[in-house]
């Protein structure tokens, strides 16, 4: 592939100009209609590449198929990325900047005053000599996950332009609303008809992610008693104060996102809304094992019981909502899907690194829906922030890995 003319950067620079920010408070699907504008562009590009069954469905998903060209019975492989960007930072009017031949040090993002500081960004040490793409500091960049889309499409272009390279059938799936946890809500696994799949949605070059958190949400409702504050003595039970008391009992130096790393889970008060009579606190509960998840939920429940002993006329409701589970439980049922990805990374001249995601992906839910789907790096960093960046060289390596991955599945089927 030394003489291959990559298209991923040009594609990426086009895609980021589309505002596809999703909305966690929306009741529609997709959560923002503007995602469909990019989806329509992607459909046209896939049609121009000659793929079949290329369409956007009623829910805004983009699907397409590149038929296999091998005589062997090769598994059908799905390649998946998401088109939406995070609600945390604006994705409107993204103005990408290419910083050529990075030589180290801080990176200033235009005239915005925003700086990517090398001392705060260890991965920049691996980017010396690379051409780094950022936004101008007023928006996020959108590498999460428009880089993944661009890399998938570039790999497909390679196979279209090189029909002598054997491959099985490849399915493309571009999803909306991944950033608000709904990317797999209407994904029809049976209709997609892939045997295995990969999301191209990871970070550092060389990483293959085969684990996610197990995730639940606890909705805690505190029921107090409200009376006119002028006549409240010995009568009012202020639910806001009880909720604050409960949050205050959480550990200060453990079990929170800001104090944990690696395989450590957390209990995270995510939102609080209420008044004297009723206050609702939502907690994000995360752990890499189901047992650890339940331990944290029981710990929180015990805190609630203990605090409520000081407010005998108050009560609480404790609802646990299951969100997603560690995809490793499912991926371990067939190790070929992860091992093939690790082998593809190695063939691309990289050091393969198995990695656990301190979060979730569409792949976690899809794995439990019957489609084993680990995650492969896309090359971006500092997702969900104005300091987001990606290197051109890492994007091209992601394309190489996808191409090798598809060939490996075909070779293993001979």
Supply φ then ψ for residue 72, to 5 degrees.
Answer: -90, 160
- Closest by CA position to 288, among listed 216, 374, 211: 211
Cβ 271 vs Cβ 305: under 8 Å:
no
Over the range 289-326, which residues count as b (16 or more CB within 10 Å of their CB) and which as e?
beebbeebbeebeebbeebbeebeebebeeebeebbbb
Q: Tell me, yes or no, if 84 is annotated catalytic.
A: yes
DSSP-derived letter for residue 76 is P
When computed from its CA atoms, the radius of gyration of the chain, rounded to whole angstroms, is 24
Active-site residue identified among 19, 154, 177, 178: 178
Cβ 250 vs Cβ 306: under 8 Å:
no
Q: Tell me, yes or no, if 53 is annotated catalytic.
A: no
Distance CA 294, CA 297 (A): 5
Active-site residue identified among 45, 84, 154, 203: 84
Distance CA 184, CA 124 (A): 33
Q: How far apart are the first and last CA of the chain?
A: 23
Distances (CA, A) of 242 to 217, 250, 275: 20, 13, 11
- Closest by CA position to 308, among listed 374, 243, 362: 243
Tally helices (H) and strands (E) across the chain.
Answer: 10, 18
**309: Cα separation from own chain's centroid:** 41
- Closest by CA position to 142, among listed 382, 319, 344, 324: 382
Distances (CA, A) of 18 to 34, 90, 101, 131, 142: 8, 12, 27, 22, 9
Distance CA 394, CA 376 (A): 12
Question: Which residues are the active-site residues?
Answer: 84, 178
């Amino acid at each position: 592939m030394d003489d291959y003319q990559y298209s991923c950067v040009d594609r990426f620079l086009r895609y980021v100009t589309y505002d596809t920010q999703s909305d966690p408070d929306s009741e529609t699907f997709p959560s923002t209609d503007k995602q469909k504008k990019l989806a329509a562009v992607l459909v046209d590009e896939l049609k121009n590449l000659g793929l079949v069954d290329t369409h956007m469905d009623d829910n805004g998903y983009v699907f397409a198929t590149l038929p296999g060209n091998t005589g062997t019975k090769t598994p059908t492989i799905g390649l998946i990325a998401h088109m939406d960007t995070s609600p945390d930072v604006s994705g409107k009017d993204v103005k990408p900047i290419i910083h050529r031949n990075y030589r180290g040090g801080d990176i200033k993002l235009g005239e915005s005053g925003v700086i990517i500081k090398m001392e705060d960004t260890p991965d920049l040490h691996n980017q010396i000599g690379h051409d780094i793409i950022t936004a101008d500091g007023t928006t996020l960049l959108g590498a999460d996950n428009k880089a993944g889309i661009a890399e998938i499409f570039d790999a497909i272009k390679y196979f279209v332009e090189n029909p002598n390279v054997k491959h099985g059938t490849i399915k493309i799936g571009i999803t909306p609303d991944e950033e608000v946890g709904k990317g797999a809500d209407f994904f029809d696994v049976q209709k997609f008809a892939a045997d295995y799949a990969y999301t191209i949605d990871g970070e550092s070059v060389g990483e293959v992610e085969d684990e996610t958190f197990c995730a639940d949400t606890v909705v805690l409702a505190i029921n107090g008693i409200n009376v006119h504050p002028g006549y409240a003595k010995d009568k009012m039970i202020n639910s806001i104060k009880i909720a604050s008391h409960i949050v205050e009992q959480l550990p200060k130096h453990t079990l929170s996102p800001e104090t944990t790393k690696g395989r450590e889970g957390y209990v995270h008060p995510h939102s609080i809304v209420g008044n004297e009579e009723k206050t609702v606190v939502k907690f994000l509960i995360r752990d890499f094992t189901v047992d650890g998840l339940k331990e944290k939920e029981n710990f929180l429940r015990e805190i609630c019981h203990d605090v409520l002993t000081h407010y005998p006329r108050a009560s609480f409701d404790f609802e646990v909502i299951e969100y997603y589970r560690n995809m490793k439980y499912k991926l371990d049922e067939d190790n070929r899907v992860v091992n093939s990805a690790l082998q593809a990374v190695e063939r691309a001249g990289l050091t393969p690194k198995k990695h656990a995601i301190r979060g979730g992906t569409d792949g976690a839910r899809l794995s439990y829906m019957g489609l084993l789907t680990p995650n492969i790096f896309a090359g971006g960093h500092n997702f969900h922030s104005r300091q987001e960046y990606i290197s051109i060289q890492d994007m091209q390596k992601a394309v190489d890995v996808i191409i090798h991955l598809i060939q490996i599945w075909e070779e293993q089927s001979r």
